[in-house]
Amino acid sequence: MTTGLLSQYADTSFWAHDYGEYHPGPALAENRSIDVAIIGGGFTGLSTALEFKRDNPGATVAVLEAAVVGYGASGRNGGFNMKLFGLEPEVTKLRWGRQRTIDAHRYAQRAVAWVKRLIEENNLDSDYRHTGMLRVSYSPSQLERLEHTHHLMHDLGIDDDMSFFTGQQLQQEFRTDRYLGAIYERETGILNPCKHVRELKRLAVEAGVDVYEQSPVDLISRPAGKVHLQTRGGALTAAKLVVAANAYTRSLHGLPKLRSKQIPMWTFQVVTAPLSAAQWESIGWKNQQSFEDNRQLVHYFRPTIDGRITMGGGDITAPSGESLDHDSEPAIWKHCEEHLAWIFPQLREVAIEYRWGGPVSVNVDMTPEIGMLGDDRVIYSTGCIGHGVSLTHLNGRLIADLLGDRKTELSDFWIVNRKAVPWPPEPLSFIGRHVLHKGLQLWDYIEERKIGARAR
């Protein structure tokens, strides 16, 4: 295990801890002029760098990562290569209309296939398994909503890989009586996010991208047709800048208009010890699918390659202020542990070996956004709201098209330069998200009040 500051980074998630010793790239230690600078060494930033560099082998491209690759959401998430775009499809349809809902789903489908193909064609060590995902209901009212969602997807003609499973069908495979129904999506998968993001770094470096780690950007300025990035060890002057910091965007100084684009909200996870063969046999789950439920404050859970179960969600935190140090929430970790035992009482005595949390990027209308800030020198991406494993990769391809002034099907996707609703200034922003949070909690309580406290 690494020591000092890097050991702190290794403790940010089970995935990073499990990865073991990691040797980061060098910090920026000189002043350079380059073609494209990218802030953020996660899925979005590294995918953008890789795609643009492959398009333009002679271009100079550099990624600045404040910590180490795998530190942020790209190394902490649940590892779901899934097709959910924003929140419910009903919400997307209400906000954006029928055709844009269809287009969004097709984009998400393409994104899932993009990640799968990237891993297979480049032989990435990402622990990838294309096992499908179940979206489950626990209560009659949740079941009714889930059936409505399935009917909507069918009506829109985007239920290609979806099947509806009854509770009786689910009990044939999973030894629990908690599931009343589910939508099964075959074309989805799971991966180890920390392994995967560091494999993306390897691909980008091999393509000729410079990846500077432990290089936080202290100030961004826009002198005479360029963009200037100042770090403690050096500076980059670039023709174009991509801001791919997502939930960490508010920590950047020099682009005030970005502050209202998104806010960070925290989600939390736990992971069990490896289950024995007998324990796996006791719960079924032989096909190793991933799960998300259709609560408003969703739970998400999945098996790992070494036979553990990760459980996350159930609640969020949305603190006020500038601090990004909110990665610990014992009450939510306890809730996750209890919820897993509520679904599978057979696992009540299984040890929990790791607990972690981290922020995701959330915008007001819960819809991903890619845009230009003032002019085409600065491109930003925000708002995957915790469903970004697949979307961020295809977003990287889209942003590479924008950087190259290429008019493509992707660059015309409707989230580009859309009219986004900004977050209001504090304290109105805090009041608004507090009211929203309490409303979602109340919704879940009403739907689940008759089925036992462990579901809440």
Q: pLDDT (tens digit, 9 = 90+) per residue, 331-362?
A: 999 999 999 999 999 999 999 999 999 999 99
pLDDT over 80 (residue 455):
no
Per-residue pLDDT, 5: 47
Residue 109 contacts residue 156 (beta carbons within 8 Å): no
Instruction: Name the nearest CA neighbour of 145 among 155, 137, 153.
Output: 137
Q: pLDDT (tens digit, 9 = 90+) per residue, 360-419?
A: 999 998 899 999 998 899 999 999 988 999 999 999 999 999 999 999 999 999 999 998
Per-residue pLDDT, 453: 47
Per-residue pLDDT, 88: 84
Per-residue pLDDT, 11: 84
In angstroms, the CA 152 to CA 310 distance is 30
Instruction: Name the nearest CA neighbour of 314 among 327, 299, 329.
Output: 299
Question: Going by C-beta distance under 8 Å and a sequence separation of 6 or more, which residues neighbour residue 339?
Answer: 299, 311, 314, 454, 455
Q: How large is the average pLDDT for residues 102-108? A: 97
**Tokens coding 444:** 């879940």
pLDDT over 70 (residue 37):
yes
Instruction: Look at the domain 5-76+194-261+365-422 and name its fold.
Output: FAD/NAD(P)-binding domain (3.50.50)
Per-residue pLDDT, 250: 87
**Which of residues 4 and 144 earns the better pLDDT score?**
144
Boundaries of every domain in the chain? 5-76+194-261+365-422, 133-186+264-362+432-455
Question: Going by C-beta distance under 8 Å and a sequence separation of 6 or more, which residues neighbour residue 277?
Answer: none
pLDDT, averaged across the chain: 94
Per-residue pLDDT, 2: 35
Least confident window among 9-23, 144-158, 273-287, 333-347: 9-23
Per-residue pLDDT, 1: 31
Q: How confident is the model at residue 307 (pLDDT cuts 50, 70, 90)?
A: very high
Q: pLDDT (tens digit, 9 = 90+) per residue, 232-281?
A: 999 999 999 999 999 999 889 999 989 899 999 999 999 999 999 999 99
Task: Report the alpha-carbon angle 122-124-129, nearest 5.
Answer: 115
Instruction: Name the nearest CA neighbour of 190 among 268, 300, 267, 72.
Output: 300
Per-residue pLDDT, 7: 60
HSE-up of 305 (CA within 13 Å, CB side)?
Answer: 17
Per-residue pLDDT, 356: 97
Q: What is the CATH number of domain 133-186+264-362+432-455?
A: 3.30.9.10
Q: pLDDT (tens digit, 9 = 90+) per residue, 175-225?
A: 999 999 999 999 999 999 999 999 999 999 999 999 999 999 999 999 989
In angstroms, the CA 310 to CA 308 distance is 7
- Chain position carrying tokens 């009917």: 151
Residue 407 backbone phi and psi in degrees, to 5: -90, 110
pLDDT over 60 (residue 230):
yes
pLDDT over 50 (residue 456):
no
Give percent of the chain above pLDDT 70.
97
Q: How confident is the model at residue 87 (pLDDT cuts 50, 70, 90)?
A: confident
